Amino acid sequence: MKPQNDTFLRALKREKTDFTPVWLMRQAGRYLEEYRATRERAGSFMGLAQNPDYATEVTLQPIDRYGLDAAILFSDILTIPDAMDLGLSFVPGEGPQFAKPVQSEEAVNALFVPDPSEKLRYVTDAVTSIRKALNGRVPLIGFSGSPFTLACYMIEGRGSRDFRTVKTMMYRRPDLFERVLDINAEAVAQYLNAQIEAGAQAVQIFDTWGGMLADGDFQRWSLAYTKKVLDRLKKTHDGEAIPSIVFTKGGGEWLSEIAATGCDAVGLDWSTNITRARQVVGDKVALQGNLDPFVLFGTEEVIRREVRRVLDGYGAVGNGGHIFNLGHGINQFTPVENVQILVDEVHQYSRHLHD
């Protein structure tokens, strides 16, 4: 069943639309009072993410509030390594941590590809539940972390400023690092395909940490494994095309190479000039982005001005596709009323670019 509002999907396919669609990375999150209330009932972040009813509830909250053009599955990028029995926990004030980081040959050899129908069943159940609850209003996006980004968390055991442990393995034991990435690529492909089969109508790969690699290393250790995932993805389901988006934070240096992986759209962070990005990728892919999330802490006048700057930067849409988004996830302290200003300005102002 096609969504009643399929503007997001048509933009991904670079088809003509009446306006620029908008959704926001981390649009269901702590900045919303209703999300905080649901999370309190769930007892914890993982209690929220692992309960399909709660995940459905919070996924729909920003759709109900703002009239966005796509919903994104409420989950976390670390579900796959959690299903690998690495002992994921979320420590208040410190973020995710793994009890069993992958820092030895024995730990690498113990890794396995989790069956999405078993340990990750709660995710696919959530996708099915969300699709039903949306009732065709807007499309649903599934997602995963990239093989490289997952490896960063798995090897460090937590977030990191310099990824010293990851890069040590990368340079001293590339054979072990390749094995981690190969397993992750297979796991991500199976996981995303399971989401597609459960009802996801587009998928995004979050390569959050690819941009901290040197040129050459990015292509070898991040992009090559993202491409392995894309090569394995289902391109259609139930007779409908399933577009894919690749978002690499800090990836502006490699736009043409990311666009050549076979994805349908490239996500841009806020540091990338969208006009130049469009010149680089041409008509190969759609572009998604790329407002600085902290613009949402500005005045109404500033928010509207900066939204227009991004839209004008992309330019007349014609046969190209633009999906408006932030250049990274929405900040937890964002004023909720400012998000409505952003959505309204995108919808209203972009129409003159689609004549």
76 as an active site residue: the answer is yes
Give the Cβ contact number of residue 329 at 10 Å: 16
In the set 30, 137, 158, 232, the catalytic residue is: 30
For 195-283, where are the E strands, in sequence order?
A: 202-207, 236-237, 240-241, 244-248, 265-267
In the set 10, 14, 26, 304, the catalytic residue is: 26
CA 101/CA 94 separation, integer angstroms: 16
153 as an active site residue: the answer is yes
> CB of 67 within 8 A of CB of 134?
no
66 as an active site residue: the answer is no
For 25-125, where are the E strands, in sequence order?
A: 71-72, 88-91, 95-98
In the set 69, 76, 207, 269, the catalytic residue is: 76
In the set 31, 54, 66, 153, the catalytic residue is: 153
Here the tokens at position 59 are 């996924």
53 as an active site residue: the answer is no
Q: What is the DSSP letter of 148?
A: H
For the chain, where are the E strands, in sequence order?
A: 71-72, 88-91, 95-98, 140-145, 202-207, 236-237, 240-241, 244-248, 265-267, 286-288, 322-323
In the set 39, 131, 278, 304, the catalytic residue is: 39
131 as an active site residue: the answer is no
- Report the alpha-carbon angle 65-71-73, nearest 5: 120
The catalytic residues are 26, 30, 39, 76, 153
